[in-house]
Structure 1
Amino acid sequence: MSFSLRDKKHNWHPYTQHKTAPDFPAIVKGNGALLWDENGKEYIDAIASWWVNPYGHSNQVMADAIYKQLTTLEHVLFGGFTHNVAVELSEKLTQILPKNQQKLFYSDNGSTAVEVAIKVALQYHYNKGVKKTKIIAFEDAFHGDTFGAMAASGISFFTEAFEGSLLEVVRIPIPVEGKENETKQLLEELLTTNEFAAFIFEPLVLGAAGMIMYSPQILDELIALCKSHNVFTIADEVMTGFGKTGKTFACDYLSLQPDMMCLSKALTGGTIPMAITTFTQEIFDGFYDDDTSKALFHGHTFTANPTGCAAALASISILQTEAIQKNIQEVNQSHLQFEQHIKKHPKVLATRVLGVIFALEIKSEVKESYYGTMRNTLYNHFIENGVILRPVGNVVYILPPYIISKEQLQKVYQVIENALEIV
């Protein structure tokens, strides 16, 4: 019996209605930007396996670093102990992060990185004897699936079953071109109430909303407003971090910097689950007290796992190579060229490009649902043609490994262009 059929017996997949889902391809091998299923069919991984794998599958540098660490120290608890690779990783990250980020807290994934940030924002004020219990976020944001992260997310498809059980979050419009003043005005009104502990945002690109983009200039203005009202800012760089936008972090486009940052996905080059939430010294100092109860009582069994730290160090070293930086620029240039061609197509409503991210919005007479008919038609077309893309409603996006070849990228473009003829 094939792996695909055996999979159905026990495995419960994410974001899947199993009653209507088809059999899934069973992937048995990966190399570079390519994956192969059990039948030998080849796929181009054009979304870097949910944005985590920038340097290609089965990367030898990553594999060697992980093997070396596994045969030295695979894991040790981080409660009451430290270890050399966590120290080295914290030193490396503080060199490349915005200068105000000085303290790192380790967890397991993007959702937990956000969860930590939200808890810290709330407890900081609690420790000071100040009641600030609400959070501000963008409409249509996505920050994860644990309860705090889910509360900060604005996509009702994912959260509607839990309404009434979530932290109180007030949402403001995404400040896309033409809506900047509306967003800024509403944020300022909310801040004057003095009820909010933090404003969380995906900097410059809202991924799960369909790669919606907005300018660094307006984000600077929103951060400035929050700073003037002593409200913390949290940059969720889980998707955008480590080169996706053309800079190491999306926040590198800003003049002002957030108080906290959430990192995961490409942090370990697509190998080992790990996340980090980073903080200013001021925030850390809000927990530094003779009173034990003011400590951050939050932790994970695999906090600062040495093997994950070793993977992250290897990942950063690859990112900083001249070859990878050149590849990022070349992917960006390819996207811009394809954009100039495809935006003239009669079925294309809009296109967006930033760094290695390309998004194309297809014209539709009705509002397409997240997992609607158009999305499913597109998805099936891509899989049949050996390209892994996961459309968001009527938005098709590419976020490939940085090492994707020009020929592979051209095939992705062609398959997308062909798909416009079937919707």
Structure 2
Amino acid sequence: MFRFPSLLLSRRLHRRKLSSTPSRPPSLPLSHPIYLIWGSNTGVGKTLVSAGIAASSLLSSATTPSQFHYLKPLQTGFPADSDSRFVLNKLRQLSLLRNPNVHLSSSHRVLNVSPAVLDTNLLPGEVGRGHSELHCKTLYAWEEAVSPHLAAEREGLAVQDSVVLETLGECFEYVVERGAGRERSDVLCVVETAGGVASPGPSGTLQCDLYRPFRIPAVLVGDGRLGGISGTISAYESLTLRGYDVVAVAFEDHGLLNEGPLMSYMRNKVPVLVLPPIPRDPSNDLMEWFESSHRIFTNLKEIMLSAYFERIKKLQDMPREARDIIWWPFTQHKLVPDGGVTVIDSRCGENFSIFKVQKTEVIAPQFDACASWWTQGPDAIMQAELAREMGYTAARFGHVMFPENVHEPALNCAKLLLQGVGKGWASRTYFSDNGSTAIEIALKMAFRKFSVDHGFIVDCHDDTTNERPTELMVLALQRSYHGDTLGAMEAQAPSSYTGFLQQPWYTGRGLFLDPPSVFMHNNTWNISIPEGYVWESQKGQSITFSSSDEVFHKGRDKSELATVYSSYISKVLSRFKESNNVGALIMEPVIQGAGGMHMVDPLFQRVLVNECRSRKIPVIFDEVFTGFWRLGVETAAELIHCVPDIACFGKLLTGGIIPLAVTLATNAVFDSFIGDSKLKALLHGHSYSAHAMGCAAAVKSIQWFKDPCSNSNITSEGRLLRELWDDKMVCRISSHPAIQRVVTLGTLFVLELKGEGASAGYGSLYARPLIEKLREDGIYMRPLGNVIYLLCGPCTSPEICNQLLIKLHRQLEEFYGCKN
């Protein structure tokens, strides 16, 4: 005999704003199908569709036990309007009508209600027991029938986005627990949203953005009424623009044949299901309507299950398929262990969403602590903004040729660059496609400027021979890295990247100085002076500072160390027999990235720039890594208190959404290419030079990062990022016995593990056990040998950075214990 469910109402009273900072975003379990039910508007029948799917899942078989979970995260108009109670009641009626012999147990819970509904008399009852199970939950409920953000504000139950997601994650854990031991297809969970796709949640965040960290596959309930085609397509585009997978569209038939244009628009890639007209009589119990819709809902359920199993198979097969056909950069395939391929399902803000097998299969968040090779900076909100901006720009421009042309995104981007990172020195912007090619362009610019200044220019009307008046060289630093193209590699010192195995043509066309480096150890900033520097008064003594501010202080120009640096540079240049052919200085300001994340003494770089100025050697700053707030300022030139003649930017320039690079130059550099012959012009370009999507993304990113309204880390003066790394944790890690050195600056935290012989250097595998543990702990890191680093974005909160350091310290302790 069927026993009907009770209403289990647990009230947690919240009179102030619910707040929480979870250790990381919750995971999405994949043990059973979970779907979001979206509506193109309010009142289109989302709850009817949810009930129909539930009936198809629970009431279609008398032999196979099944389980259905209905979750309503946000409910207004409560308790008069309760979608979870509606689903419960309709399933009760349908069960009696369709198959009285099917034993159905069910439960209904409302987890959080606003103070406005405290007097509601909702009496608990007895839970039914049976063959199949229906579990209905409302997570947050408000009395007034308005948008959740208004109800939350008016009734005293304000809920942060992180809390909604955390509560929903707990509900998913319950789904996994209840479904343990069942077949995948015997458990189904739907999460029904409130209102339309872009209706605000309780914090004001649009729901399509609120639930995006989970990226749950979607069923869209469209609109079959007049105007419904437009509304349904708009809702569909809002979801797909944010990376949701829409597996089906369903809507009520109003006799307008809306399905035709919708199927044409979606090119039959997404099934469109048409439901019978819904009776308008409030007294109608809808049983006949559900019966007439049964076949359609069964079809919809099968579509959902099929899409779920297809997704699982793809995720399971991707590592094997990747190993068979992909050649990864900077990767020794033989050293990639079984299970060592990370499957990234998506990205949301600073987190990968990766496929993992724990107790069960899940899509789990993993903080991208290498910023995907230093390109990333956006939070989830900025990511959505960039996606919209690029979608608009792609639709408007596609791609257009650039020489002698102009379009709005390129012009706006150039203006912002010259008013920002190039302010006070640059007058021209040259667009390219990535950092390495930006360097190639910079070298051509610098060599031309040097040749003009030193009288090396030949007759440009007949410059078709390979004859050269001189072989120009660069002045650069040891441990430098400027890219992987042949010309860029010639401008960097010998390293693992330039050996015969990697670049048989490499000769190293330059003079490479050994720079002093700065690091923290035992909570003290130190300067390491290489051999070759003459400083008798400090011989054998350490040079220390109490803070990084002292390291960057311009007052050090008057120190004895500045004289030592100047003497070293002059001595090396005078001994270099081709010093008169040094046509450019190229350096990474402050931080040398791929060379091991070394911090160069800014005083040394300032002295070096001044020396080159006196010799009329053009100065190139390679800011592909360091630019756009990576080091806590918009440009690293602010840290060394001097400007270049030429500078290269990339990576964070576009927020990491699409490749783009620029080379900025002074007017004097530009003028060295001006003449009556085209042969004197800069004959360098790319098919996608100044592509509109990249320029539009750069405009949005530049503005976003420096605006305190969108980036809370910007100080009131608008010139600095606030401190992101906790001083106490940095001190603890710098004093750890396993650590050789620490560097922290802006968005960057670096540590070098103590290692000797094979345990040190770029080819070292010494850090691998630590990296594996950190990945298991939700932090994706990729080492540079025995050097590991954390790289957050300009918008990352200090709280998140502190969590990263805490996890790093915990895993470091375990790593050190195992090694000793």
- TM range, normalised to the smaller chain? over 0.9
1:157 is aligned, of 471, 496, 503, to 496
Secondary structure at 1:157's aligned position in 2? coil
Q: What is the match of residue 769 of structure 2?
A: 377
Say whether 1:255 aligns with 2:641.
yes
CA distance in 1, matches of 2:625, 2:783: 16
Q: What is the match of residue 19 of structure 1?
A: 334
CA distance in 2, matches of 1:63, 1:28: 17
Number of positions where the alignment pairs a residue of Structure 1 with one of Structure 2: 423
CA distance in 1, matches of 2:689, 2:474: 26
Deviations 1:32-67 (A, max 9, x none): 221112341321112221111111357122112111
CA distance in 2, matches of 1:277, 1:125: 17
Say whether 1:42 aligns with 2:365.
yes
Q: What is the match of residue 779 of structure 2?
A: 387
Cα distance, 1:178 vs. partner? 4.6
Q: Structure 1 residues 270, 164: CA separation in 2 closer, same or farther (over 3 Å shift)?
A: closer
1:135 is aligned, of 452, 466, 474, to 474
CA distance in 1, matches of 2:405, 2:570: 44
How do 1:297-376 and structure 2 match up within 5 A? Answer: 297-323=683-709, 326-327=712-713, 332-366=723-757, 368-376=760-768
Q: What is the match of residue 187 of structure 1?
A: 569
Q: What is the match of residue 289 of structure 1?
A: 675
Cα distance, 1:402 vs. partner? 3.0
Cα distance, 1:332 vs. partner? 2.7
| RCO higher in structure (CA 8 A, sep ≥6) | 1
1:115 is aligned, of 423, 427, 440, to 440
Deviates more, 1:261-270 or 1:168-177: 168-177
CA distance in 1, matches of 2:713, 2:408: 32
Q: Structure 1 residues 266, 10: CA separation in 2 closer, same or farther (over 3 Å shift)?
A: same
Cα distance, 1:334 vs. partner? 2.5
CA distance in 1, matches of 2:768, 2:567: 38
CA distance in 1, matches of 2:714, 2:774: 24
CA distance in 1, matches of 2:697, 2:582: 37
Deviations 1:155-194 (A, max 9, x none): 5211102254445122101232253666544432454531
Deviates more, 1:152-161 or 1:69-78: 152-161
Q: Check conservation: 2:450, 2:584, Cα contact below 8 A.
A: no
Q: Check conservation: 1:378, 1:391, Cα contact below 8 A.
A: no
Q: Structure 1 residues 125, 407: CA separation in 2 closer, same or farther (over 3 Å shift)?
A: closer
Say whether 1:7 aligns with 2:348.
no
Q: Structure 1 residues 217, 186: CA separation in 2 closer, same or farther (over 3 Å shift)?
A: closer
Deviates more, 1:351-360 or 1:139-148: 351-360
Q: What is the match of residue 72 of structure 1?
A: 396
- Residue 488 of structure 2 aligns with an amino acid whose one-letter code is A
CA distance in 2, matches of 1:153, 1:386: 35
Deviates more, 1:32-41 or 1:309-318: 32-41
- Residue 483 of structure 2 aligns with an amino acid whose one-letter code is G
CA distance in 2, matches of 1:156, 1:255: 29
Q: Which consecutive unaligned segments of at least 5 residues does structure 1 have?
A: none
How do 1:138-287 and structure 2 match up within 5 A? Answer: 138-154=477-493, 156-161=495-500, 162-166=503-507, 168-176=509-517, 177-179=527-529, 184-189=566-571, 191-192=573-574, 193-287=579-673
- Residue 438 of structure 2 aligns with an amino acid whose one-letter code is A
CA distance in 2, matches of 1:265, 1:325: 18
Secondary structure at 1:203's aligned position in 2? coil
Secondary structure at 2:664's aligned position in 1? strand
Cα distance, 1:89 vs. partner? 0.9
Secondary structure at 2:737's aligned position in 1? coil
CA distance in 1, matches of 2:767, 2:710: 32
Q: Structure 1 residues 226, 344: CA separation in 2 closer, same or farther (over 3 Å shift)?
A: same
CA distance in 2, matches of 1:257, 1:406: 30
CA distance in 1, matches of 2:324, 2:765: 27
Q: What is the match of residue 132 of structure 2?
A: none
Deviates more, 1:236-245 or 1:23-32: 23-32
Secondary structure at 2:630's aligned position in 1? coil
Cα distance, 1:216 vs. partner? 2.8
Q: Check conservation: 1:125, 1:132, Cα contact below 8 A.
A: no
CA distance in 2, matches of 1:41, 1:155: 40
Say whether 1:59 aligns with 2:383.
yes
Cα distance, 1:195 vs. partner? 1.1
Q: Structure 1 residues 20, 349: CA separation in 2 closer, same or farther (over 3 Å shift)?
A: closer
Q: Check conservation: 1:172, 1:183, Cα contact below 8 A.
A: no
Q: Structure 1 residues 178, 360: CA separation in 2 closer, same or farther (over 3 Å shift)?
A: closer
Cα distance, 1:298 vs. partner? 0.5
Deviates more, 1:220-229 or 1:175-184: 175-184
Q: Structure 1 residues 156, 210: CA separation in 2 closer, same or farther (over 3 Å shift)?
A: closer
- Residue 61 of structure 1 aligns with an amino acid whose one-letter code is E
Q: Check conservation: 2:708, 2:714, Cα contact below 8 A.
A: no
Secondary structure at 2:499's aligned position in 1? helix
Deviations 1:375-407 (A, max 9, x none): 323322222222112222222211112333455
Cα distance, 1:70 vs. partner? 1.2
Deviates more, 1:259-268 or 1:110-119: 110-119
CA distance in 2, matches of 1:395, 1:328: 29
CA distance in 2, matches of 1:112, 1:246: 25
What's the C-alpha RMSD, in Å, of the aligned pairs? 2.2
**TM-score normalised according to structure 2 size:** 0.49
Q: Check conservation: 2:741, 2:753, Cα contact below 8 A.
A: yes
Secondary structure at 1:327's aligned position in 2? coil
Q: Which of structures 1 and 2 has the bigger CA Rg?
A: 2
Deviations 1:223-251 (A, max 9, x none): 11000001011100011100011110000
CA distance in 2, matches of 1:172, 1:139: 6
Q: Check conservation: 1:268, 1:274, Cα contact below 8 A.
A: yes
Q: Structure 1 residues 184, 384: CA separation in 2 closer, same or farther (over 3 Å shift)?
A: farther
**TM-score normalised according to structure 1 size:** 0.93
CA distance in 1, matches of 2:690, 2:804: 37
Cα distance, 1:258 vs. partner? 0.7
1:28 is aligned, of 333, 340, 345, to 345
CA distance in 2, matches of 1:134, 1:302: 30
Cα distance, 1:319 vs. partner? 0.8
Percent identical:
30
